[in-house]
Chains A and B, each alone.
Chain A
Amino acid sequence: MNINEALRVSLASIAGSKLRSSLTLLGVVIGVLTIIATMSIIRGLNNLVEKEMNQLTADVFQVQRYDQNINFGEQQERKYRPKIGLSEVVALQENANLCKIVAPEVWDWGSTIKYKNDATNPNIVVLGGTPGSMPNNGYNIERGRNLSEQDVRFARPVVILGYAVVQRLFPYRDPLGEEVSVNGKKALVVGIFEEMGSVLNSNADHRVAVPITTFEYWWGKERSWNITVQVVDPNRMEEAIDQTVAVMRVARGLKPGEPNNFDTWNSSELVDTFNDMTKWIKVAAFGIAAIALLVAGVGIMNIMLVTVTERTREIGVRKALGARRSSILSQFLLEAVILTEIGGVIGVGLGIASAYLLGGAANLPIAVPLWSIVVGLVFCSVIGLGFGTWPAWKASRLDPIEALRYE
């Protein structure tokens, strides 16, 4: 059966029953829309995470007190974990020869920076670190200098400002050499970070860095340190992590057989974590899509059965003119697929549109994965074929003379 013919006939039959067709197609549209929109948003986030991962430099991993992936069974045990501090850093610097830069860091997530009468919102992230913290986190100094060993040793009140902080407090002035206050504590601006752009909606430019010793002087010593480690050879990341774990266990006095009371993770795990998180969203999206498409499939079957009944005479005429059963079967199958695909194409369009709308509203980058379009449209064809088979088979089996006599 030729495609043009089937296309024309199905468009005509859709046009002939707009309401019924659009109600049926709604399910298809929703199903495909869900797939496309969800996958586009997740892919957009994924791209972002991967971008950040690249920024975070692939040759760095991190040692931290608590597990990256929260495991509910172990919550009790986690409370008693000793903090990570200077002794572990020193142990790693001395004994882990696969680690090039070992840099401890602590964070504060809501500080206000003031300059004269100007103040930022209380949303500035303060990094307490060492000179190595900057390369390990992928922060580049645009002007001025990095923190120095002396800054750390003497807990000097010096600060490196993020781009957004500079924009806010020093619109007309060079901040280098100026004195600002970080949460009320005076500090000398010695450097400025390069602009980083927004990462995952938390603005990476709203950030300042001070020596870790200064940080502890201001905020106290309660916080456990994270240790970022740049490895000697990125190809030997696994080995370096194993070595680090061994050194950490000794430094923390763990006996053989005792579980680690710290966790290590590297930026590729960020992607794993992300995929873990989004896996269920994807499953849910496919679930919704599958249900919508199944419901739509029943609708398609219904509409096709009605079509076959309505067009019984036409089928009789076609048979009288020499149509074989197979021609009738393929005509109605093709019509079912075309009908479903019309919904599918609308779904793809609306899916892309709503992904961009949502993305725009939430300030997220959107990337429409080609495979999601292919999967969506293939799903439609499968649904069309699956649910169109019975009506088409019925049509093909009609007795020509009875079909012609049908009123």
Chain B
Amino acid sequence: MSKIIQLENISKIYEIGDIKVPALNGVNATIDEGEYVSIMGPSGSGKSTLMNLIGCLDTPTSGKFMLTGEDVGDMTDNELADIRNRRIGFVFQTFNLLPRANAFHNVELPLIYAGMSKEDRKDRVEAALEKVKLADRMKHKPNELSGGQRQRVAIARALVNKPSLLLADEPTGNLDSTTSFEIMELFGDLHQSGNTIVVVTHEEDIAAHTHRVIRLLDGRISSDELQKPKLVSQTAQAS
């Protein structure tokens, strides 16, 4: 299997005045195509920082980050924008939907930036909303949707441009447990259909669904283990 993410000795140091805060401190990891990985760790351990780097939203202070074999450090601003647009789908804990735009339009945005024609966009957006079972909520604005529905809109938006990599930073952090399992079920399906997924989570329950758990501690990888994933339905019954 080909490597989709290669992290070599990645560090990220925030400077606040004279104080240097090392959020990441020499991270090495490789993620292959088709993997379903969870990143865990205590608050402040650098999970979000790492996800933002992988998502090409941020750049490391030092180290090398290769995305499908290309060095991201060499890329121009426009190339990074295009990668975020076409190759990566990002799901945030706080959804980050445009409040004044309806579900359809929110999902449509990446396609607008991809320069797709209006007719093509319509088909793709409808298909994506269909996939997250929100075909009947297309005209709803975010404040007219439940938290779970909002996150499903965000997932549809992340998927609509058919990215090779789906990143989710605590996607269920703001959701109740039932809704969380719905979302995890959706992720499971997406993984089944061939997506590479990296998900940050605090909850062991959620991490249990993934095939591999990377644990961070103080900006370093403390463990990186493969595991046999639980099926979502089993967890749901158990709880």
Binding site for B on A (CB under 8 A): 2, 5, 9, 12, 313-314, 316-327, 400-401, 404
Question: What B residues does A322 contact at CB under 8 A?
Answer: 81-82, 84-86, 110, 113-114, 161
- Expressed in whole angstroms, the Cα–Cα distance for A319 and B109 within the complex equals 10
Q: Are B86 and A325 interface neighbours, CB within 8 A?
A: no
- Asked whether B146 is an interface residue with its Cβ less than 8 Å from the other chain, the reply is no
Q: Are B55 and A320 interface neighbours, CB within 8 A?
A: yes
B2-42 residues at the A interface, CB under 8 angstroms: none
Binding site for A on B (CB under 8 A): 52, 55, 57-58, 77-78, 81-82, 84-86, 90, 92, 96-98, 100, 109-110, 112-114, 157, 161
Q: Are A12 and B100 interface neighbours, CB within 8 A?
A: yes
Question: What B residues does A318 contact at CB under 8 A?
Answer: 109, 113
SS of A interface (majority): helix
- A401-B57 contact given A317-B96, A322-B81, A322-B86, CB 8 Å threshold: yes
SS of B interface (majority): helix
Question: What B residues does A327 contact at CB under 8 A?
Answer: 113
B55, B82, B98 — which one has the most chain A CB atoms within 10 A of its CB?
B98
A321, A326, A327 — which one has the most chain B CB atoms within 10 A of its CB?
A321
- A313-B112 contact given A324-B77, A325-B78, CB 8 Å threshold: no
Residue of A nearest to B85 (CB): A322
- Expressed in whole angstroms, the Cα–Cα distance for A313 and B58 within the complex equals 15
Residue of B nearest to A316 (CB): B96
- A2, A316, A404: the one contacting B112 at CB < 8 Å is A2
- A12, A321, A400, A401: the one contacting B157 at CB < 8 Å is A321
- Expressed in whole angstroms, the Cα–Cα distance for A324 and B85 within the complex equals 9
- A323-B81 contact given A318-B109, A401-B58, CB 8 Å threshold: yes
- Expressed in whole angstroms, the Cα–Cα distance for A208 and B42 within the complex equals 105
Q: Are A314 and B98 interface neighbours, CB within 8 A?
A: yes
4 more A-B contacts (CB under 8 A) besides A317-B96, A321-B85, A324-B81? A314-B98, A320-B84, A322-B114, A324-B82
- A321-B84 contact given A313-B96, A401-B58, CB 8 Å threshold: yes
- A400-B57 contact given A320-B96, A321-B113, A322-B84, CB 8 Å threshold: yes
Question: What B residues does A326 contact at CB under 8 A?
Answer: 78
Residue of B nearest to A324 (CB): B81
Q: Are A325 and B112 interface neighbours, CB within 8 A?
A: no
Question: What A residues does B110 contact at CB under 8 A?
Answer: 321-322
Nearest 8 A/B pairs, CB to CB: A322-B85, A322-B113, A324-B81, A401-B58, A321-B110, A322-B84, A401-B57, A317-B96
Q: Are A325 and B57 interface neighbours, CB within 8 A?
A: no
- Expressed in whole angstroms, the Cα–Cα distance for A322 and B56 within the complex equals 10
